[in-house]
Structure 1
Amino acid sequence: MNRAIASLCLSPMLLIQTQSAHAEDFVPDGVNVTYGNYLTVVSGRSADYTNLRLGITWDWKKHFYQSDSMLLSSYFELAASSWKSNLTANDNPSPDGKDKATAISFSPVLRMAFMPNASFHPFIDLGVGAAYLSEKDLEKEKKSPINMGGNWQFEIRAMMGVEFGSEQQFELSYGWYHYSNAGLHSLNESIDFHVVTLGYNW
């Protein structure tokens, strides 16, 4: 986790360095929309959240590694998410937990794309970033809420997908998002989503 924190601290500096050389690089390179649902990772916890997310991306424009079979690159994403609980009064949701929350996040993401010279190619995305949540306590069944411990959280993702189109301008992916504070606060109950993302790059 110390390495994750260090990479998170360094990523804005890397973004500034790479963007400062060309003013046009401040223009986003892509946009994506995501739909997700609460993923039960903690046993015995009953919650039901929908996650709607809009993101914009900037390519780092540098490749860490490239061969005929694999391309290793990176991008940065700024996103806004809206979480809404689907529990009803019959579920007896926790009175101290909020049924809605907003998250603003920024994350550097590492992409491993395979068969880069094909008309479409699969990829894996791995990222660790920061997120600010509008609420600290999220509703679930029973009396106590999901206590996130604080507004600032880490956002961790692992996604698998495919790029396609005449210039690989479209992408479709499925995977996992995790939010927790990594022990920065005394309480750290975390929340997870499984999501589907559709993206367009220009």
Structure 2
Amino acid sequence: MQRWLVALVLSFGIIGQAQADIRTEQVSQLSVEYLKGEGRVQGLRLAYRPVEFHFTTLPLLGDANLYLEASTNFWQYDQPSRYQSNVALALSPVLKKQFASWYGKPVFWEFGIGVTMLNKREFAGKDLGSYFQFEDRLGLLIELDPQHRKMLAIRYMHYSNAGLSSRNPGMDFLNIAYSWRF
């Protein structure tokens, strides 16, 4: 699996032609997130990260991490008596880099683009155009403890089919997440 992920990273051009020192950490991480979407859309996201790669010599970035995340999203729309729901399964490679410290706690940004499958193409009054979507994210994370086990994050996430269908209204979410390593 590690060779597959390194090949994926190379294919996206994150490393490019440069040689990179790569260290693999087999530390599992779980994340629970509350999602607030447009209008009356809200949800819950459960994510699992089985492995994280630490790169020490990435071009333009230097020291950064890459993790692979699998997630299940449960979206809800409207009032309790008329709820409409949707489930999204996603797989995303995510690049993470520390850029600051706040009261001695490391602060990171993250960026990722992954793939998602929806169980319903129509949701929240929109025809999303396809069951297949892309999951884009941009986030800020802070480690909460010195053992690097607990983390708090805020993320902007966007789901769309990237124009693979003539209909592509997309869905936007603002997430707050708590994650822990074990």
> Does TM, scored on the shorter chain, surpass 0.5?
yes
Distance 1:65 1:162, change over 3 A: farther
2:43 counterpart residue number: 51
1:152 counterpart residue number: 132
Letter in 2 for 1:173: A
Higher strand share: 2
In the alignment of these two chains, the number of paired residues is 163
Match of 2:55 among 44, 58, 63: 63
Q: TM-score, normalization: structure 2?
A: 0.78
Answer yes or no: is 1:126 the counterpart of 2:111: yes
Q: How far does residue 173 in structure 1 lie from its aligned partner after superposition? A: 0.8
1:191 counterpart residue number: 171
Q: Is the partner of 1:189 in helix, strand or coil? A: coil
Stretches of 4+ aligned residues off by more than 3 angstroms: 15-18, 25-28
Q: TM-score, normalization: structure 1?
A: 0.71
2:91 counterpart residue number: 106
Structure with max Cα Rg: 1
What is the CA–CA distance in structure 1 between the aligned matches of 2:156 and 2:144, rounded to whole Å? 21
Q: What runs of 5+ residues in structure 1 fail to find an aligned partner?
A: 1-10, 19-24, 40-46, 140-144
Answer yes or no: is 1:79 the counterpart of 2:71: yes
Higher helix share: 1
What is the CA–CA distance in structure 1 between the aligned matches of 2:79 and 2:169, rounded to whole Å? 19
What is the CA–CA distance in structure 1 between the aligned matches of 2:133 and 2:3, rounded to whole Å? 17
1:13 counterpart residue number: 4
1:161 counterpart residue number: 141
Distance 1:119 1:49, change over 3 A: same
Distance 1:17 1:136, change over 3 A: closer
- Give yes or no for contact 1:28–1:56 (8 Å, CA) kept in 2: no
Q: What runs of 5+ residues in structure 2 fail to find an aligned partner?
A: 10-23
